[in-house]
Amino acid sequence: RSVGIGRAHAKAILLGEHAVVYGAAALALPVPQLTATASAGWSSPGRGADGGLSFTMTGSASRAVVTLASDGLRRLAAAFTERMGVTGGAHLDVILDGAIPPGRGLGSSAASSRAIVFALADLFGVELSEAAAFELVQTAENMTHGRASGVDAVAVGASGPLRFQAGRASELEVGGEGLFIIADSGTAGSTKEAVELLRESFTREAGAQQEFLARAARLVDEGQDALAEGALEELGSALDRYHELMRAVGLSTGRIDAMVEAARGAGSLGAKITGGGLGGCVLALTQPEQAGRVARHLHDAGAVQTWVVPLRRHAGHA
């Protein structure tokens, strides 16, 4: 094969972000309409004769993996060559395209890595198991985020809502006719910084970590039950309370708080920041009839773009 193609989609965290880093559970939702696509091809022979693979990255989404593009991508390649038994120097041109905005808690780095990993597997003609793909994407994620929980690495390849805890994922039951509006605040936040900020605040304040994790776990469990029963009011209430939790530890922003308020005022059943925080997106749950109004109010409060994700399973890519 002379060219390999790989794809992955964005994700949003429903409940449990940050707590999941400490081994608690999180619920995540695939965002299938936002995708990353990578193509990988051999470039002129003779380059990169250092015994491994080297890369040149181009494409509209290559900024999304700015960390990966340099040292990270080399280490990902090293992990890949070791795992796949690819030997000898080679240089690859990787083109990464897509529309997942980076730093918005939508999993752009994990989706880019997964797309690249599958493009390489396709190029090499190897069948990648989900476990092998997860491990490779995690290699890249750990370099971008410090120590990533792994929820993004799973969710960007998942075909429906999932629960993730301590490296294990399971499908979620979904009832009800709600939909989520994801609204981009237009400001990027660093997940790595957010994770460090929280860790520091936990070391300063005795008991803060246990309290955060206990509250988060309760909301995740409540949210999971509500989701299965199609109890949208209860699900919305869990989202509202998770936002307060994130706000209390300093992970929200003024613009995000204003957007959350605007969504609630426009009839959303519940709204919260989603992902690492310090910027990024708001996730608002709404009945289909209120969706237009909620989206308009989110834009009025400063959202630069919005996406709608219906609460149901979708046919995803493997």
Q: Which amino acid is at 306?
A: T
Residue with the shortest CB distance to ligand PMV: 276
65 interacts with ligand PMV by CB under 6 A: no
Nearer to ligand PMV, 24 or 123 (CB): 24
Stretch that binds ligand PMV, among 70-78, 141-149, 173-181, 200-208 (CB under 6 A): 141-149
- In angstroms, give the least distance from the CB of 46 to ligand PMV: 38
Torsion of CA 107, 108, 111, 116, to 10 degrees: -150
- In angstroms, give the least distance from the CB of 173 to ligand PMV: 22
149 interacts with ligand PMV by CB under 6 A: yes
Q: Given candidates 101, 223, 275, 302, which one binds ligand PMV under the rule CB under 6 A?
A: 275
Q: Given candidates 4, 17, 57, 266, which one binds ligand PMV under the rule CB under 6 A?
A: 17
- In angstroms, give the least distance from the CB of 155 to ligand PMV: 9
Q: Select from 312, 30, 28 the least CA-distant residue to 176.
A: 312
How many residues bind to ligand PMV according to rule CB under 6 A?
16
Separation between Cα atoms, residue 192 and residue 24, nearest integer Å:
18
184 interacts with ligand PMV by CB under 6 A: no
Helix (H, G, I), strand (E, B) or coil at 107: coil
Instruction: Identify the helix (H) or strand (E) that includes residue 262.
Output: helix 254-265
48 interacts with ligand PMV by CB under 6 A: no
Q: Select from 286, 261, 289, 288 the least CA-distant residue to 273.
A: 261
Helix (H, G, I), strand (E, B) or coil at 281: strand
Please return the burial class of 194, using the count of CB atoms within 10 Å of its CB with bins 0-12, 13-18 and 19+: buried
Q: How far apart are the first and last CA of the chain?
A: 20
List residues binding ligand PMV (CB under 6 A): 13, 17-18, 20-21, 105, 107, 145, 148-149, 151-152, 191, 195, 275-276
